[in-house]
Structure 1
Amino acid sequence: MNMNFDAVYFEPASLDYELGKILRDKYNDLPWTEIQSHNRIPEFNAAENRDFTKLKRHLIVGVRKTHKYVLNHKVSDWLVPYTSSGCRAMCLYCYLVCNYNKCSYLRLFVNREEMLDKLIKKSIQAQAPQTFEIGSNSDLILENTVTDILPWTIERFAKYGKGSLTFPTKFDMVKPLLNLSHEGKTIFRMSVNPKEIIHRVEFGTSDL
């Protein structure tokens, strides 16, 4: 699945990071607009709801400032704010749309080294192996097509971390990940629905 964008909106500080520079080179043919905060983009906030699909075609690049882990008692021990939020897909039931409405577009956070360092330290300090949900705010398989974040994350955590990483996905672009040295420390969770549901409700996701 090729993910094309119409424009990039970026926080200036994002270009101080390696990933920010990579994205700048990768999308240098697109217009880049400077913003003060990935959370407050005046022209997006003022947009009409009918602009929802148009806004989804913008890429937002910033620096994640919130790193608070939240206890979770479902599929993991912790919910971890990681390298993206929002999504390009348009599932009608998505909680991201419910929470962010028209501003549920894809945001990428380039300070991945800080986030993974904290995650590895947290995993090592735990008395018992913990499971960390790193995909609760986005779909990391989708993000991976832009940033290659999963090989970068999975192999580093396999080498230095303790416990497990987990994330859900509705996308099928997993082939680049199958031969990674994960050391049994990564849990993929695939969401698969009937074709009728995908076509009527889960717009923009992979087909059955």
Structure 2
Amino acid sequence: MPVESHWRIPELHGDETNVDRWVRIKREALVLGVKKSLTTRVNGRSADFIAPSTANGCAMACAYCYVPRRKGYSNPITVFANIEKILAHVQRHVAKQGVKPEPNQCDPRSWVYDVGENSDCSVDAEVSGNVDDLVALFRGLPTAKASFATKHVNRRLLTLDPQGRTRVRFSLMPARVAKLLDIRTSPVPDRLAAIDDFVAAGYEVHVNLSPVVVHEGWLPLWAELLDQLGDATSAATKAQLQAEVIFLTHEENLHRVNLGWHPKAEDLLWRPAMQETKRSQSGGLNVRYRSGDKARYVQQLLELIAERAPYLDVRYAF
């Protein structure tokens, strides 16, 4: 079915009544497109740069995901077919940077490019060869690394021979919370069990402790998860393991949509007594934990990491 834009598909986007088909759409719809605007943006937090997306959307259905907020509250996978042009753009951008002049929190030696800002590359690799091509590209770029976060264990990626030039960031949260919020993802024990295997296959592996959801009894659950992480990983893995810590940000319209298909998730995500509002750059109304309280939560979790996982270097926490 030809359409003008993957942002404006009448049967999928711009209609919040699609809430009744929220997960079904992900099973039934696949959008193939050509990415027209190829830009690489400065990031500086998780990565030095955000590369042009080779996909947008996801077959998973995490209740807090930010991507559908910008897509009319329907979020199937869009795969971009002009991968050669995207790869050429990235290669030119890397060449322009030259050698990284000094270490930063992204990496001590290499420029880091996030290649999965609007999708999960492990899922994308189930439906196209774009991720294979990205891994192959960065394998030959000695001054740069690819990076992506994932909640899906795709063991086919173990065959791609990244040679240390691709960083996989496994997203983790306590399994009891993930069962409620991380819909259609790989179970947390499966993610933990995959970490050593990905390191052995030549990936650099980090963990994203995110989103951190504060609720009654949250710290003991995180202590249990940190113990599980330690039990699941070898000394070689621990020696290269680093973490990003990201506390929950939620959004008013997504809250309303979630009430239509997964209201139990909102019992944890939407806590007005604990949260304050902030208008996003796109005009949406976001909620986050009250600033003074959030600083205390961050400190509590960092102290817990230092106690239960002293090998884990936290690159940033917010």
Establish whether TM, by shorter chain, passes 0.5: yes
- CA spacing shift, 1:181–1:51, aligned 2, 3 Å: closer
- Corresponding residue for residue 170 of structure 2: 190
- Corresponding residue for residue 170 of structure 1: 151
Where relative contact order (Cα < 8 A, 6+ residues apart) is larger, the structure is: 1
Do structure 1's residue 36 and structure 2's residue 4 form an aligned pair? yes
Q: 1:81 aligns with which of 52, 63, 66?
A: 52
Q: Deviations over 1:76-120 (max 9, x none)?
A: 111112210111111111111333242222111010010011111
Does the 8 A contact of 1:120 with 1:162 survive in 2? no
Which runs of no fewer than 5 residues in structure 2 stay unpaired?
Answer: 101-109, 189-318
Does the 8 A contact of 1:124 with 1:161 survive in 2? no
Q: Deviations over 1:136-188 (max 9, x none)?
A: 11000001011132222212321256311100000111x22224332321111
- Write the distance in 2 (CA, Å) between the matches of 1:160 and 1:73: 20
Percent sequence identity over matched residues? Answer: 26
Q: 2:133 aligns with which of 148, 152, 157?
A: 152
- CA spacing shift, 1:161–1:110, aligned 2, 3 Å: farther
Do structure 1's residue 105 and structure 2's residue 73 form an aligned pair? no
- Corresponding residue for residue 53 of structure 1: 23
TM-score, length of structure 1 as denominator length: 0.77
2:135 counterpart letter in structure 1: I
2:59 counterpart letter in structure 1: R
After TM superposition, which residue ranges in structure 1, 4 or more long, deviate above 3 angstroms?
none
SS of 1:103's partner is coil
Count of residue pairs the alignment pairs up: 175
- CA spacing shift, 1:45–1:153, aligned 2, 3 Å: closer
- Write the distance in 2 (CA, Å) between the matches of 1:160 and 1:79: 16
Q: 1:206 aligns with which of 183, 186, 189?
A: 186
Which runs of no fewer than 5 residues in structure 1 stay unpaired?
Answer: 1-32
Over aligned residues, Cα RMSD in angstroms? 1.7
1:124 counterpart letter in structure 2: A
Do structure 1's residue 69 and structure 2's residue 40 form an aligned pair? yes
- Write the distance in 2 (CA, Å) between the matches of 1:98 and 1:172: 25
TM-score, length of structure 2 as denominator length: 0.52
Does the 8 A contact of 2:139 with 2:162 survive in 1? yes
- Corresponding residue for residue 271 of structure 2: none
Q: 2:119 aligns with which of 138, 149, 156?
A: 138
- Write the distance in 1 (CA, Å) between the matches of 2:32 and 2:169: 26
- CA spacing shift, 1:176–1:55, aligned 2, 3 Å: closer
